[in-house]
Amino acid sequence: MAVKITIDMFSGRPNPVVELDAKEAKDVLERLKPTTALSGDEAEKAATPILGYRGLIVEQSGTTGVSKDLPERFRVSSGRLTGRGLAHNPADSNFEDFFFGPRGLAKKARDMKNLQSVLKTEVARAVEIRKKFILDPIAFPIFITCTCGPIYEPAWWNDGGQRQLNNNCYNYASNYRTDTFAQPGRAAGAMYSSLTCASVLPAAVKDALEDTPGANNKCPPEGHLVALVIAPNIDFHWYRKGRNGFWTHKPGSTQATNLDNSGHLILDPRTADRGMYTSFCTFMVVKHGHIKIN
């Protein structure tokens, strides 16, 4: 019997892997023995991909000693088991605490010393994020609703360095990397003069964004839809509508995300939790190749 556990946490780097000896494998499979079935949307929430720690992927192989109650490959996430034919609570609902604990098996993984403190936070964060998830029923077939909308590719923007730190919400929303923390109107020599809709909106028009106040969350036939919001006299913020119809954003130098301040997917920025950005200004259209920002 061979049991391998992958700590599923990275987007770009290969995930850390722990290979267990026979005694450890037996103990782990005992702890992960399925008990009660998950109820409601618990399984879907546990399996929904998020950025950061997403759970443990357990793979068992061999002819003797493998657990017949568990599939060859399954996931332990936020204290729940999911996999082919598997949507259950494990015998040890605190398995992840055990795994990452002081005497846990995680320390066998390479580079674990540097990851330990991050993982402590990440495991708890994953639980909190999933608690907040509200999963809407998925209508099939899924149509691509915005053919010209940009793809949501957070790993590209969230490099933790040059791209992430020097490109803000305006860069992200317009899908235009400048590495200059772009400001509406600056490229045209007509930067906004106050942090109000009345000032930022015309500055963006000078950058060749097109004001479409009547867009009503509908994708344009050309280009993609963005939305301007304002924290009055404090700051501005932009969202962009993606190819799948959902909105995403990049708050300042932090990571791009598809969640609002309440941890919900964003179907309409007018109704999303926007924190201090209480003023919704307008929808605008970015026509690819037309705009110039800096």
Q: What are phi and psi of 59, to 5 degrees?
A: -125, 125
- Of the two residues 73 and 177, which places its CB atom closer to another protein in the complex? 177
Does the footprint of another protein cover residue 94 (CB under 8 A)?
Answer: no
| Shortest Å, Cβ 86 to another protein | 28
- Cα–Cα distance, 265 to 252 (Å, whole number): 19
Q: Taking CB under 8 A as the rule, which mask of x and - marks residues 253-282 in contact with another protein?
A: xx--x-xxx------------xxxx-----
- Binding segment for another protein among 34-42, 56-64, 83-91, 230-238 (CB under 8 A)? 230-238
279 within 8 A of 230, measured Cβ to Cβ: yes
Q: What are phi and psi of 238, to 5 degrees?
A: -125, 145
Among 170, 206, 215, 226, binds another protein (CB under 8 A): 170
- Of the two residues 74 and 172, which places its CB atom closer to another protein in the complex? 172
- Of the two residues 147 and 253, which places its CB atom closer to another protein in the complex? 253
Give bridge partners of residue 239 from the DSSP assignment.
227, 249
| Shortest Å, Cβ 118 to another protein | 8
Q: What are phi and psi of 164, to 5 degrees?
A: -70, -45
Contacts of 183 (CB under 8 A, 6+ apart): 170, 191, 192, 203, 294
Does the footprint of another protein cover residue 151 (CB under 8 A)?
Answer: no
Does the footprint of another protein cover residue 247 (CB under 8 A)?
Answer: no
- Binding segment for another protein among 7-15, 74-82, 110-118, 210-218 (CB under 8 A)? 110-118
CB atoms within 10 A of CB 240: 24
- Of the two residues 36 and 117, which places its CB atom closer to another protein in the complex? 117
By CB under 8 A, the count of residues binding another protein is: 37
- Reduced to 3 states (helix: H, G, I; strand: E, B; else coil), residue 254 is coil
Among 36, 39, 117, 216, binds another protein (CB under 8 A): 117
Among 77, 158, 183, 282, binds another protein (CB under 8 A): 183
6 within 8 A of 15, measured Cβ to Cβ: yes
| Shortest Å, Cβ 182 to another protein | 9
CB atoms within 10 A of CB 213: 10
Q: DSSP assignment of 67-110, as one string?
A: -TTS-SEEEEETTEEEETTEEEEESSTTHHHHHHSTTSGGGGST
- Of the two residues 87 and 230, which places its CB atom closer to another protein in the complex? 230
Residues that bind another protein (CB under 8 A): 114, 117-118, 120-121, 124-125, 128, 168-170, 181, 183-184, 195, 200, 231, 233-238, 249-254, 257, 259-261, 274-277
